[in-house]
A and B are shown apart, each in its own frame.
Chain A
Amino acid sequence: GAGVSQSPRYKVAKRGQDVALRCDPISGHVSLFWYQQALGQGPEFLTYFQNEAQLDKSGLPSDRFFAERPEGSVSTLKIQRTQQEDSAVYLCASSLARDNIQYFGAGTRLSVL
């Protein structure tokens, strides 16, 4: 596709369940970013990849959050033992390089019950 694709669009998880969120960036985009957006707030940075290398993971809120991009294309954000405070929209963005405009996907809305 032409844009950033995220799946699933919606995910409902029971507290304690593990979830995996997928991001397909725009083809050829080197940089990939994950953000977390709580209701009524602006997005907050989680982590950044350049190709397959995770260069910045300083925004991950706890060691329950893990992201990977093994082949430098598709990325997965995994949240282990989900908690209610993890409920948010998780946005993925990609760009040609670090300095370029970031193009965002529609996000995955995670609800933890």
Chain B
Amino acid sequence: KQEVTQIPAALSVPEGENLVLNCSFTDSAIYNLQWFRQDPGKGLTSLLLIQSSQREQTSGRLNASLDKSSGRSTLYIAASQPGDSATYLCAVRTEGTSGSRLTFGEGTQLTVNP
């Protein structure tokens, strides 16, 4: 059974700092990995999708990397801003009979202080 772990559970940084969020998964047979952002009382917003054949994806100040063989992904946020404050969730889509489902980590709650 696929398990996804995110470290740290919570992070508080001053504005302008670069930061890294970590995600690890136990079953490396994945189709893809997604990073989401969730604001309080809101649904999930997809930030980046990395296919299993890719090593990284970039969007603006965000860069996500994937090391499939070691079961790890990182989300790098450059020059953090207060508007980046949210919970960041990592999710993987695993190969196999239940390949439709996403398995999520518990999230990293990020606070960027002005």
- List A residues at the B interface (Cβ < 8 Å): 4, 31, 33, 35, 40-45, 48, 55-56, 58-59, 91, 93, 98-99, 101-107
Contact = CB atoms under 8 A, between A and B. Distances in A.
Interface of B: 4, 31-32, 34, 36, 41-46, 49, 89, 91, 93, 98-107
A43 B98 contact: no
Contact of B89 (A42, A58, A59): A42
B41 A106 contact: yes
Contacts of A44: 104
Contacts of A48: 100-101
The residue in A33, A102, A106, A107 that gathers the most chain B C-beta atoms within 10 A of its C-beta is: A102
Nearest to B32: A99
A100 to B, nearest CB: 9
B106 A98 contact: no
Given A99-B31, A101-B34, A45 B103 contact: yes
Contacts of B32: 99
Contacts, number: 60
12 contacts: A35-B102, A41-B106, A42-B104, A42-B105, A45-B102, A98-B99, A101-B34, A101-B49, A102-B34, A104-B44, A104-B45, A107-B43
Contacts of B46: 101-104
Nearest to A56: B100
Contacts of A101: 34, 46, 49
Contacts of A58: 98
B43 A31 contact: no
B100 A98 contact: yes
Contacts of B106: 40-42
Contact of B101 (A4, A41, A56, A107): A56
B103 A91 contact: no
B104 A43 contact: yes
